[in-house]
Structure 1
């Protein structure tokens, strides 16, 4: 038991630091929980519960940006809550054995999205720039005001609904997809879009967690460990960011995610 606790705490600290520096730290928490011996569905719910604490901290950090768009957030909030709840409901229709079969594919999808995130982000930025050339001709304050109505775009709302279902079901790489959707449909400052992404992720997990709490599938001691570890890792990330290359961290996450995908796939063949 002591080894499992120490292993999970180290993984959570690493995930918190990696998430703050390069993103993708969540890809480490779920596999670490599975490797401690709890069921895959419980590990998924426990990971969501632990990481949600970090999301709360992030949303607080973005409070000024969120305040500037608060009156326009209700459409994406509803889409996020509805999709997150539906994704959690879909997860609970699986047995542990059934979910274990799809785990390697989910980890692989999350790893692939993380690996391609620079290319995805660049593509979204180019499309947004080409379709919204007017934004470059306006001052930043006007640009921010202009982007607000676009939070109601059908493409964004339907896309966010689908991403939210995935987020409530598993969630690895969902943040990348949400930011891509926002950049495709909204010109303006990246910080503003990032704050909306954090808010949508918070809503997805809140809706999913309400199902998980009701189903009593969260391992609360482990969730507390994940919350403490990711918070500590995020807090100490500045120290490591000055000493470790972001490229190296990204390669580590991609390599780890790939190896874990292979491990879980081979485990299903036993």
Structure 2
């Protein structure tokens, strides 16, 4: 009974975090590991458990989905899904400990990009002029990361898009939510076909994530842009600190 309640609450918080700023797997994954699920299976199970919550959030955000950096939504989705397939297959073929060592540094870079995004985006628009190929390359690897692990992939998308001149975080949030859900969708299919899901632990977390995703998306739509930005940065800093301590302490 304790495990069921713990996983439900973890799903509730993770779903809300994903809807607001991303990083929900930093709650769901440790919760699954704490009840005895092996790390790779916990990663796959976490992806499936949070997926319905992502769908709920994407539905709430559907009216705000828009092109990013001049790239239309279907094109972004195709690149993201391609990366998601590659990443999910890679997870099943390689040990995660190698990526765990790189993850804190990737999160640190993403947090710095997110914090400096508005200033950097002005320079890029006036000097670098990012093109479709550069955007597609970045987005493919974000999709790959989302399929492989997914922790804070929403934060990374917001950081990358902000640096590339995509606009304010709040305006990017609906498209970010949809693309994260797209990458997770293909990863879920791969994980289910591979038999990597621990179903008993997944169910209670899924219920919590759906409720949390719906609540978080509604809250996110009503919060002012500066508040969303501060919350996003707070989550980024927290998750970066958690993974540095996990890797080195």
Q: How far did residue 92 of structure 1 move? A: 0.8
Q: What does 1:114-129 correspond to in 2, within 5 Å?
A: 116=111, 119-129=112-122
Gaps of at least 5 residues in structure 2 are: none
Once residues 256 and 187 of structure 1 are traced to their aligned partners in structure 2, the CA distance between those partners, rounded to angstroms, is 24
1:8 to partner: Cα distance = 1.6
8 Å contact from structure 1 (residues 76, 157) kept in 2: yes
Map of 2:65 onto structure 1: 66
Question: 2:14 corresponds to which residue?
Answer: 15
Deviation per CA, 1:49-86, whole angstroms, max 9, x where unpaired?
A: 111112111221222223788x9222211211111000
2 CA distance for matches of 1:181 and 1:44? 24
Partners of 1:161 and 1:248 in 2: CA distance: 26
Report the Cα offset of residue 153 of structure 1: 1.0
Q: How many residues align?
A: 236
Q: Which has the larger radius of gyration?
A: 1
Q: In terms of mean alpha carbon deviation, does 251-260 or 229-238 score higher?
A: 251-260
Per-residue displacement from partner, 1:142-185 (whole Å, max 9, x unpaired)? xxxxxxxx8x7111100011111111110112112212222233
The CA deviation at 1:39 is 1.6
In structure 1, what is the equivalent of residue 140 of structure 2? Answer: 161
Partners in 2 of 1:252 and 1:177 — Cα distance? 12
Shift in alpha-carbon separation, 1:32–1:55, aligned structure 2, 3 A: same
**Alpha-carbon distance, 1:202 to partner:** 1.5
Residue 26 of structure 1 pairs with residue 25 of structure 2: yes
Equivalent pair of 1:33/1:43 in contact (CA under 8 Å): yes
TM-score by length of structure 2 reads 0.76
Instruction: Give the structure-1-normalised TM-score.
Output: 0.71
Counterpart contact for 2:90–2:148, Cα < 8 Å: yes
* C-alpha separation in 2, matches of 1:191 and 1:251: 15
Corresponding position of 2:42: 43
Q: What secondary structure, in the 3-state scheme, does the structure 1 residue paired with 2:55 have?
A: helix
Matches within 5 A, 1:201-220: 201-220=180-199
- The question of whether the paired residues in 1 share the 8 Å contact of 2:104 and 2:240 is answered with yes
Secondary structure of the corresponding residue to residue 62 of structure 1? helix
1:1-270 to 2 correspondence within 5 Å?
Answer: 2-20=1-19, 23-66=22-65, 72-94=72-94, 98-99=95-96, 101-102=97-98, 104-105=100-101, 108=104, 112=108, 116=111, 119-132=112-125, 153-188=132-167, 190-234=169-213, 258=241, 262=245
Structure 1 residues 111, 153: CA separation in 2 closer, same or farther (over 3 Å shift)? closer
- Residues 25 and 253 of structure 1 are in contact (CA less than 8 Å); yes or no, is this contact kept in structure 2? no
Instruction: Determine the C-alpha separation between the residues in 1 that align with 2:133 and 2:117.
Output: 17
